[in-house]
């Protein structure tokens, strides 16, 4: 039993101490249990006992840290100390970016082109005969005698990683039409009567559907719409998204669950925009509601929140947020900025877009596994967004991106051309996801082909 009740007069001190325990990322406090003796977050359980605040892992209940609660004056001093430490950390991070900027080794378009070509070669060498990319079984295509590729993803995401691979190949011109057509044919076989690609076998299955829907749109452009079944595929996919979307709002994981988030809504809105460009029937009201949602989750500094203004990205319970701190990324801002461009918004009419771009430039791509900065999802959408922003900011961002990933691309054996899946969401998508996402990002830095 947990003795003593946490008196409400100490609540502000408790919250301040929690800030010290989990700094630099602030906790979301959720009162639970009797009185105020316990506080829970998505990652931790905090318990006050005998004047000491204990921090436990929410899953294992393993004790992580302890802070003695003393007087309010001492707690205020601790808050000041924490604020100074955070300011120092921010200054150090800013200096690190400046130092890296000064030491950047530009990657020529020819070198970047080779990076993309190697990545796409790895992808086509690991495509199944039926056209899909197997999220957790791609290594069956490794050459015998060589070291087997590591980095499987989650088996439920074959539809999603196949969609990403299609998009990566579709950006590269006419050389991969055969592989694209096979992959789209496989997606066609996975589409249900209600328009859903694949099965609702995971809590976030709609990600896979929306990615596949956008991928078929990109394939239509790459293949000049030569396959008659493709446009109806997209239309059915859009129709499903309409049944999934929240009334008078946007999207979340489950159909019409009255919850909304930036990440999945971006994929859905991108699909709507691409389908509209193909001349398909799209609910224009849904697009307007998407624009309204982005306005709601974007604060005055241009930062885009996950489900509300001021929020960071999501992380799993446990050590995921410790390994990949949310303050190392502006992924939601990147998603929001790129989606605004695709919805035909411009910085001239929406000045907040310029502020969003400036935030991205404060956190450019840096490959630092120890610091937890590797985020292929962020880098892909950040690159696509900054490409549309253009100017000096784009030139600088693209240098950071290619410099970060160039020498990290595997060079030998069965892994050659891929990237090791060690980023934020690599456990879900695995090596196929990592390689397709970074191929897309690198290709975006290349000059337009004639």
CATH of the domain at 210: 1.50.10.20
66, 117: one domain = no
CA distance 20 to 69: 12
CA distance 111 to 445: 11
Q: Which residue has the higher pLDDT, 103 or 282?
A: 282
280, 185: one domain = yes
**Across the chain, how many H-helices and E-strands are there?**
15, 5
* 391-406 helix and 109-125 helix, angle to the nearest 10 degrees: 50
The answer to whether residue 321 sits within a structural domain is yes
The answer to whether residue 232 sits within a structural domain is yes
Give the range of the structural domain holding residue 278, as residue numbers without chain letter: 109-444
CA distance 392 to 278: 32
399, 342: one domain = yes
Please determine, for residue 102, whether its predicted confidence score (pLDDT) is greater than 90. Answer: no
Q: Which of 399, 364, 395 is nearest to 378 (CA)?
A: 364
The answer to whether residue 103 sits within a structural domain is no
Last-in-domain residue among 17, 51, 85: 85
CA distance 447 to 430: 29
pLDDT tens per residue across span 251-264: 999 999 999 999 99
pLDDT tens per residue across span 354-404: 999 999 999 999 999 999 999 999 999 999 999 999 999 999 999 999 999
The answer to whether residue 11 sits within a structural domain is yes
59, 121: one domain = no
65, 142: one domain = no
34, 148: one domain = no
1, 117: one domain = no
Please determine, for residue 21, whether its predicted confidence score (pLDDT) is greater than 70. Answer: no
Quickly count: other Cβ atoms within 10 Å of residue 114's Cβ.
16
Strand partners of residue 66: 54
The answer to whether residue 166 sits within a structural domain is yes
The answer to whether residue 22 sits within a structural domain is yes
Residue 7's pLDDT band (boundaries 50, 70, 90)? very low
Is residue 390 left, alpha or beta, with left meaning phi > 0 and alpha meaning psi from -120 to 50? left
Please determine, for residue 22, whether its predicted confidence score (pLDDT) is greater than 90. Answer: no
64, 133: one domain = no
Judging by beta carbons within 10 Å of its beta carbon (0-12, 13-18, 19+), is residue 95 exposed, middle or buried?
exposed
Q: What residues contact 95, with CB distance under 8 A and at least 6 apart?
A: none
51, 122: one domain = no
pLDDT tens per residue across span 402-434: 999 999 999 999 999 999 999 999 999 999 999
The answer to whether residue 357 sits within a structural domain is yes
Structural domains counted in the chain: 2
User: At 157, is the secondary structure helix, strand, or coil?
Assistant: helix
- List the single range of 204-208, 287-291, 315-319, 441-445 with lowest mean pLDDT: 315-319
Mean of per-residue pLDDT scores for the chain? 87
181, 261: one domain = yes
* Contact by Cβ (8 Å): 422, 374: yes
65, 122: one domain = no
* Contact by Cβ (8 Å): 341, 289: no
The answer to whether residue 95 sits within a structural domain is no
361, 417: one domain = yes
């Amino acid at each position: 039993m947990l003795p003593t009740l946490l008196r409400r007069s100490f609540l502000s001190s408790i919250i301040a101490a929690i800030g010290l325990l989990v700094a630099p990322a602030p906790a979301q406090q959720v009162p639970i249990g009797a009185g105020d003796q316990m506080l829970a977050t998505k990652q931790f359980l905090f318990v006050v006992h005998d004047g000491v605040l204990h921090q436990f892992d929410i899953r294992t209940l393993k004790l992580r840290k302890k802070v003695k609660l003393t007087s309010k004056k001492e707690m205020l001093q601790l808050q000041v100390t924490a604020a100074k430490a955070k300011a120092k950390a921010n200054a150090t991070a800013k200096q690190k970016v400046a130092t890296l900027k000064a030491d950047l080794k530009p990657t020529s378009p020819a070198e970047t082109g080779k990076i993309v070509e190697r990545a796409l070669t790895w992808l086509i060498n690991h495509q199944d005969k039926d056209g899909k990319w197997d999220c957790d079984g791609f290594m069956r295509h490794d050459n015998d005698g060589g070291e087997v590729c590591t980095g499987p993803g989650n088996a439920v995401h074959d539809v999603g990683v196949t969609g990403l691979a299609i998009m990566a190949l579709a950006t590269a011109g006419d050389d991969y039409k055969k592989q694209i057509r096979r992959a789209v044919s496989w997606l066609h076989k996975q589409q249900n009567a209600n328009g859903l690609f694949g099965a609702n076998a995971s809590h976030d299955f709609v990600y896979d559907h929306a990615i596949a829907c956008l991928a078929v749109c990109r394939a239509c452009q790459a293949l000049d719409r030569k396959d008659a079944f493709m446009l109806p595929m997209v239309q059915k996919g859009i129709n499903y998204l309409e049944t999934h979307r929240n009334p008078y709002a946007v999207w979340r994981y489950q159909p019409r669950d009255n919850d909304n988030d930036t990440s999945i809504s971006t994929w859905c809105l991108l699909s709507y925009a691409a389908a509209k460009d193909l001349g398909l029937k799209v609910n224009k009201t849904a697009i307007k509601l998407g624009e309204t949602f982005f306005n709601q989750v974007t604060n005055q500094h241009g930062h885009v929140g996950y489900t509300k203004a001021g929020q960071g990205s999501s992380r799993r319970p446990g050590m995921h947020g410790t390994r990949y701190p949310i303050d190392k990324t502006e992924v939601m801002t990147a998603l929001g900025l790129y989606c605004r461009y695709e919805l035909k918004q411009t910085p001239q009419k929406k000045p907040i877009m310029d502020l969003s771009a400036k935030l991205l430039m404060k956190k450019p791509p840096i490959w630092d596994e120890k610091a937890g900065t590797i985020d292929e999802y962020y880098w892909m959408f950040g690159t696509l967004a900054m490409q549309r922003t253009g100017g000096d900011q784009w030139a600088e961002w693209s240098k950071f991106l290619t410099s970060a990933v160039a020498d990290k691309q595997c060079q030998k054996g069965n892994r050659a051309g891929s990237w090791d899946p060690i980023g934020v969401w690599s456990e879900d998508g695995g090596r196929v996801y990592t390689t397709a996402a970074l191929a897309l990002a690198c290709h975006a830095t290349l000059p337009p082909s004639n």
